[in-house]
Amino acid sequence: MELQCKVQNYDWGKLGLDSTVAKLLSSAHPDIAIDPSKAYAELWMGTHPNGPSMIIERGVLLSEYIKDNLDAIGPEVRKKFGVTVPFLFKILSIRKALSIQAHPKKEHAEELHKNFPDMYKDPNHKPELAIALTPFEALCGFRPLVEIQNFLKKLPEVANMLSKESIDNFLAQQEQGDSQIVLKPVFHSLMTSDKTVVASTLKALLERLEKEDVPTQSSLLYPLLKRLHNDFPGDVGCLSPYFMNYMLLNPGQAIFLKPNLPHAYLSGDCVECMACSDNVVRAGLTPKHIDVPTLVDMLDYSSYAQEQLLFNPQLEDCNSCVWRPPVPDFAVVRIKVESGDSYNTQNRSSPSLIIITSGQGEACDTEPVAAKPGVVIFLKASRQLTLTPAEGHHLEVYQAICNV
């Protein structure tokens, strides 16, 4: 069943047809005009009330359809999650940084929702997986301690902003020390710094780095600092790359954002899948509400090397691989079918949301659908979709499923 899905025009999205979201929308629905000055940030696939998908041929919301067709969800998913699609599937196209944020654990999400329902809208956790479609930049997890120490030694402007006690303890710490104990006071001091001090520190740092040679600028992340500051002048989040891993993902590489892991997407296009939630605790690079006490308290202060943060798929067969996070809410399958071939998706006990990202051909469940980029299909539990590329073409699709 083909779906009409909701586009979100958030300010940070890529503009017009620079956006993969807009390209997919335009390809699947040529009658929709793309505005070159408008941001096309996210395509939402699923039943989340802020962007529900509709079954085109029936003119009915997917959320309504499954209430009347329990077989679409399947007994295993119903037993675990009830009558719902428990994940939200997205395409993101990012022009400028999203906020530095983390997502609470399930119990913490329930507590935040109960105590601050206006700020934390639902009681669900929000683990998420991002798979790069184009070169993709992100900040993710705290760096190894020695890297942060080196930055603070070379950036006295930043070190002088922070409480002397926290910095002295931190710089005296050996690499094998407990980052949870020594890093939290430093990060707390950073995040609670006076706004005028942050702004003047950023100004002084940018002025100094501007005069350095290119290798020094590169090693001290000047190009990134300058770009973040242009978009978010005076924002404490501009300094976060000195504390968090700056990652450049190639297409097909992925990161899994477990609860309490600090992160921020900076640029590029990705497939994203998450638990069906909108729970975010923000810390910077945003005009939205920042909840510093909650964030500083909940964060995972472990140090990560970049390779620890890459999340690799498992091969399922010669056409497909699957990213299976350690949560029951979702997994994502990538399927590629070459010209002259045909492929039946694996029989899953879960409902699926499937988006064609490249190629041309046909997708058939009970009725054939023209398969082209941007076409989104809902597949009932225990059903298979036959993918047949057109002559001389391939098909590449991403399929979100429950991880049960």
For residues 359 and 362, what is the distance between their CA atoms, to the nearest angstrom? Answer: 10
Angle between helices 179-191 and 145-154 (to 10 degrees): 40
H or E stretch covering 257: strand 254-257
Q: Cβ of 369: how many Cβ atoms within 10 Å?
A: 18
Cα angle, residue 379 at apex, residues 378 and 382 outer, rounded to 5°: 160
Examine the residue annotation and report whether 58 is marked as an active-site residue of this protein: no
Backbone φ and ψ of 266, nearest 5°: -110, -45
Amino acid at site 96: K
**How buried is 372 (Cβ within 10 angstroms: 0-12 exposed, 13-18 middle, 19+ buried)?**
buried
Q: Which of 95, 282, 334, 348 is catalytic?
A: 282
Q: Which amino acid is at 205?
A: L
Sheet holding 54-55, edge to edge: 60-61, 54-55, 2-4, 376-379, 352-359, 395-401, 331-337, 320-323, 314-317
**Element holding 354 (H helix, E strand):** strand 352-359
What is the Cα–Cα distance from 366 to 386, expressed in whole angstroms? Answer: 10
Q: Give the integer Cα–Cα distance in Å for 161 and 141.
A: 22
How far is 181 from 302, CA to CA, in rounded Å? Answer: 10
Helix (H) or strand (E) holding 150: helix 145-154
Task: Kindly tell me the burial class for residue 329, based on how many C-beta atoms sit within 10 Å of its own C-beta (0-12, 13-18, 19 or more).
Answer: buried
CA distances from 279 to 105, 129, 282 (A): 10, 15, 10
* Amino acid, single-letter form, for residue 167: I
Q: Count Cβ atoms within 10 A of the Cβ of residue 287 and give its class: 0-12 exposed, 13-18 middle, 19 or more buried.
A: exposed
Q: Which residues are catalytic?
A: 282
